[in-house]
Amino acid sequence: MSNLDKYYINGEWVVPLSKTKMNVINPANEDSIGEIILANELDVNLAVAAAKSAFSSFSQTSKEERLKLLKALLEISKKRLPELAKVISLEMGAPMTMSLELQADAAVGHLEGYIEALINQQEREKLSNGDVQVREPVGICGLITPWNWPVNQIALKALPALAAGCTCILKPSEFTPLSSVMYSEMIHDAGFPPGVFNMIQGDGPLAGATLSKHPDIGMMSFTGSTRAGSSVSKDSANSIKRVALELGGKSPNIVFADCDLEERISGSIEECYINTGQSCDAPTRLLVERSCYKEVLKIAKRVGEAVKVGDPAQEGNHLGPLVSDIQFGRVQAMIEKGIKEGAKLLVGGLGKPDGFDEGYWVRPTIFADANNKMAIAQEEIFGPVLTIIPFDSEEEAIEIANDTPYGLAAYVQSGDLNRAERVAQKLRVGMVHINGGGFNYGSPFGGYKQSGNGREGGIIGIEDFQEVKTLHYPE
C-alpha cells in the first residue's frame, strides 16, 4: 500500500518528520504486511495546524455543501467496499464474509445514517420565548480509534465531525493502519477541502496524548479501553475540552426459561463470539434462570464445540485470530484466571487450536458455574470467552446484570415481552437487545457508567460535535 508510511495532512500525503518505525503484522500468520512511522509531537502539531487553518472556512459551509460532500463519499464508499473488506481482514483477522458484511459495511451504513440525520436536523430553531437557538461546529476535533472495528469507529467519529462542519485529526490504532489509509484516500477523492480531515499514524501515549493536550483542539472523541479513556480525559482537562468516550463493557445476557432456548442460546453464543469476541458490546455474561440451567449448558456445549476457527482470507462463518500477541497473552491470562477461580470449563480452554501454531489463534471457550465476583465475570476479556452464571429470580438477574462497573449493552431473552421491557427498564446500560434484536445504523450507540459518555450515530451523534448558540432579539 503506497501511502502506508505517510500521513494525510492538508489534503496531501506527506513524509513524516518522525523516524520511528513499526512493523504491521498479519495476525493470522505473523507475517509482516508493511511498516508505518509513529508520529512525534511535531507531526501532530502539523496536522493540528492544517485543521486549524481549514476550520475558519469549513465551519461556515452550509448544510447543503456538506451534504454534497458526504453523498460523494457515499458513492466512493460503496465502490471501494470489497477493497476495504480485504484490508480490514488482512490487518486484524476478520474473516472475509464478516469483514465485508459487517466491518466494511459500516462505512456505508453509518454514512447513510448520518446523511439522513443531517437532513432532518434543525440547525436553527425558534424557542417559545422568542429567542433563536443555533447549532454550530464544536471546533477542531481529535479522533482516536481502536483496532477491533477499525472502519466502523472511524466512520462513527469522522462522519459526524464533518457533517457538523468541524475539522479533524484522526489517529487510528497503529495495529490497523491499512484501513485508515484507504479511508483517508476515500475522503480525499470525495473532494473535502485540504485540512478538513487529517490522518496521522502513532501510538496512544505519544501521538494520542499530544492531541488530548493540544490547546487548539476543542474536542476529543475516543474509543478504546476504560484505562486509556481515563487518560484522554485527564490530558484534556487543562484545556477544558469536550471529551466523548466509548469504552469497554461486560454485557449481561439474561435468559429466562420461557424463551426459545435452542434458538436464543445458539444466537447468544454467535453474538458473543462475533469478531472473535473483540467487541465492546459483546454479551459475555450469560445469566441463566436456574429452572433451565441444565438444558442451557447442554445446548451451549454442543453449539460452542461446533464453532470453527479458520483462515480469515476465506469466506464462511468461522472465527479468525485475535488481533495481536498482546491480546493473545491477555486472553490466555484471563482463561487461566477462570480455571484457577474454580469456574467449570465447558468448552475450549488454554492454548491454540490444533493445527494453528502460527498466528494469534485462541480456542473458543465457555465457562459454566461461575459467579459474578469472579474476574471472568467482572473484567473485559476481549476474546471468544463466555461466562455462564445461574440465577433464581428476576430481581436477582437484574442485580447481577447491574453489578459491574460497565454499562454499555444488555441482552434479554424471554417469551414474555412485558417482562423483557420491565427488565430492560431496570438495567443501567445504554442499549438493550431483546430476543436477538440487532443494532440498526442511525440509532444511538454508547454506554452508562464506566462504558463512557456521549452517543455515536444519528442526530444525537452529530449533536456531540456541535455547540449551541442562543440569539436574543429585542421584543
Q: Catalytic residue positions?
A: 246, 280
**Nearest-approach distance from CB 360 to ligand NDP, in angstroms:** 13
Instruction: Answer for the pair 52, 216: CB distance below 8 angstroms, yes or no.
Output: yes
**Residue whose C-alpha cell reads 501515549 in the numeric block:** 205
Q: Which residue has the cell 511498516?
A: 35
Q: How far apart are CA 354 and CA 293, in angstroms?
A: 30
Task: Residue 242: count other Cβ atoms within 10 Å of its Cβ.
Answer: 17
Secondary structure (DSSP) of 84-142:
HHHHHHHHH---HHHIIIIIIHHHHHHHHHHHHHHHH--SEEE-TTS-EEEEEE--EEE
- For residues 330 and 426, which CB has a smaller minimum distance to ligand NDP in the complex? 330
Cα 342 to chain centroid, rounded: 32
C-beta of 365 vs 413, nearer to ligand NDP:
365
CA 468 – CA 64 distance, rounded (Å): 20
Nearest distance in Å: CB 280, ligand NDP = 3
Closest to 292 (Cα-Cα) out of 397, 373, 366, 395: 397
The least CB distance from residue 124 to ligand NDP, in Å, is 35
Q: Which residues, including other chains, have CB under 8 Å from residue 229's CB and lie 6 or more apart?
A: 222, 245, 247, 452
Would you say 208 or 218 has its CB closer to ligand NDP?
Answer: 208
Pairing outcome for strands 409-413 and 251-255: parallel
Minimum distance of ligand NDP from residue 364's CB (angstroms): 17
**Measured between alpha carbons, how far is 31 from 351 in angstroms, rounded to an integer?**
20
DSSP 220: E
User: Are 76 and 190 spatial neighbours (Cβ–Cβ below 8 Å)?
Assistant: yes
Chain centre to alpha carbon of residue 183? 16
In the complex, least distance from residue 275 CB atom to ligand NDP, rounded to whole angstroms: 10
With CA atoms as reference, report the closest residue to 224 among 209, 214, 238. 209
Residues at the contact surface with ligand NDP, assessed by CB under 6 A? 144, 146, 148, 173-174, 203-205, 208-209, 212, 223-225, 228, 231-232, 247-248, 280, 330, 380, 382
**Closer residue to ligand NDP (CB): 228 or 292:** 228
CB of 399 to ligand NDP, least distance (A): 24
Closest residue to ligand NDP, judged by C-beta, is 204
Output the CA torsion 84→90→94→97 (10° steps).
60
